[in-house]
């Protein structure tokens, strides 16, 4: 199974991201747009890994975190030969960077396969986009992070679907 650990978004955040996708659709001639249910922020990509229970157990250890906020603050794109990948970018966040770093260290120390690419926090909106448009300013989108989710990526009737397998909640900080 193909696994990754992510921050999943609530319906309001996903609706705001879908609005950005609609604006992009209006400015491009073609592209493959992420399904609303698949919009997320990847923290650690494990790829093909048949150890979901072990990954779940390892993420429960030493990666506890307190709830924190994030802000999507702009659009960007990665240029590619088959078209560009457009994304919603996030403002710098120390709590996010710390959580991601601790998570990857824990998974690596447990001998689990973790993608080694540098962390560039973003939400993929569309791939293989053909457009002459440049990224444009967008209103900030506020995100409350209270859990991380172990997800499986699979095909269902030809569509790419991300299914949650387990979730880890932030520490309760109420008095």
Which pLDDT does position 75 carry in this prediction? 93
Instruction: Assign residue 75 the CATH number of its domain.
Output: 3.90.1140.10
CA distance 25 to 126: 9
* Beta pairing class for 84-90 and 122-130: antiparallel
Residue 174 lies in a domain: no
Which pLDDT does position 144 carry in this prediction? 95
Quote the distance between the C-alpha of residue 121 and its chain's center.
7
Residue 112 lies in a domain: yes
The answer to whether 34 and 21 are in contact (CB under 8 A) is yes
- Determine if the pTM surpasses 0.75: yes
Number of structural domains, the chain? 1
Residue 175 lies in a domain: no
pLDDT tens column, 104-149 = 988 898 888 888 889 999 999 999 988 878 888 889 999 999 999 9
Question: Quick one: CA dihedral 66, 70, 76, 82, positive or negative?
Answer: positive
pLDDT tens column, 18-54 = 999 999 999 988 889 999 999 999 999 988 888 788 7
The answer to whether 8 and 163 are in contact (CB under 8 A) is no
């Amino acid at each position: 199974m193909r696994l990754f650990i992510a921050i999943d978004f609530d319906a309001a955040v996903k609706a705001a991201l879908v609005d950005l996708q609609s604006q992009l659709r209006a400015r491009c001639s073609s592209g493959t747009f992420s399904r609303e249910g698949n919009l997320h922020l990847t923290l650690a990509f494990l790829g093909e890994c048949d150890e979901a229970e072990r990954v779940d157990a390892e993420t429960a250890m030493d990666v506890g975190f307190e709830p924190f906020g994030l802000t999507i603050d702009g659009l960007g794109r990665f240029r590619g030969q088959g078209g560009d990948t457009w994304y919603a970018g996030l403002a710098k966040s120390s709590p996010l960077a710390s959580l991601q770093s601790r998570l990857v260290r824990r998974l690596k120390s447990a001998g689990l396969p973790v993608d080694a690419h540098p962390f560039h926090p973003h939400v993929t909106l569309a791939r293989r986009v053909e457009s002459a448009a440049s990224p444009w300013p967008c209103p900030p989108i506020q995100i409350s992070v209270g859990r991380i989710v172990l997800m499986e990526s699979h095909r269902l009737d030809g569509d790419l679907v991300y299914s949650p397998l387990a979730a880890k909640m932030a520490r309760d900080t109420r008095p």
